[in-house]
Amino acid sequence: MIKITGGSLRGRVLPAEVPEGVRPTSSRAREALFSILGQDLTGLSFLDAFGGAGAIALEAASRGAAPVTVFERAPIALAAIAANSTAFKTPLDVRAGDTATLCRDVRADLVYLDPPYDDDIASWITRLAPCAIEVLVAEGRKGTVFPEMAGALPLDRVRSYGDASLAVYRVAAEPQRG
C-alpha cells in the first residue's frame, strides 16, 4: 500500500497494485524528497524518469507541479500509472519507452531519477543532467557513491533514508519560483 504523503492528495492510497519488479520509494524517502524540493511546487515542472507505479509523480502533482512528466517502459507499470492517475483525476504526461531515448526531448525544473539499483547510477545522472533546469535528485541504494557533478549541477548533499540514499544536485541553494 502506497499512500500520498502531502499536498492536495495527502492520505490517499494508490489504488493500483505495485507491479512486480518495481521497488517503490519508501514513504520516508518520499517525505524527505519533498522536504528537499519544497512542499509547494506550483509553477515548477517535474520529471520522474523511472515511473514505477507513479507515486513520485503523483506526489509532485499533489504539491502543484505542472506539467508532471513520467517515463516508464514496462507495460504493467504504465498500466498502474494510468490507473492511479485516472483514479486521482490528476493528469500526468506519461511517456512509454526507454528513459535514455525519451530524455532527449524533455527539460523540467525538477528531475527525479530512481533507476534499478543494479544500474550504473553515475551513467543515468550524466544522461539526465541536461534535462534538469534547477534540481536533479537521484535515488540509489544506501552507500552508493554519487558523482560530484551532474553536468553543470554540483552535488549539494547526500542523505540516507532507510535502505535508500538521495543525492541532490542543484543550480542554486533554492529553486527559483515564478
| Type and span of the H or E element at 81 | helix 75-87
- How far apart CA 112 and CA 45 sit, in angstroms, is 11
pLDDT digits (tens, 9 = 90+) for 81-117: 999 999 999 999 999 999 988 988 899 999 999 999 8
Residue 175 banded pLDDT, cuts 50, 70, 90? very low
Q: Tell me the mean pLDDT in the region 57-70.
A: 97
Distances (CA, A) of 126 to 77, 154, 176: 25, 12, 23
The per-residue pLDDT for 176 is: 44
CB 112 within 8 A of CB 49: yes
Q: Tell me the mean pLDDT in the region 154-166.
A: 95
50: left (phi over 0), alpha (psi -120 to 50) or beta: beta
Q: Which domains does the chain have, with CATH numbers?
A: 7-170 (3.40.50.150)
Q: What is the pTM of this model?
A: 0.92
Residue 104 C-alpha cell reads as 532527449
Average pLDDT, the chain: 92
pLDDT digits (tens, 9 = 90+) for 5-16: 999 999 999 988
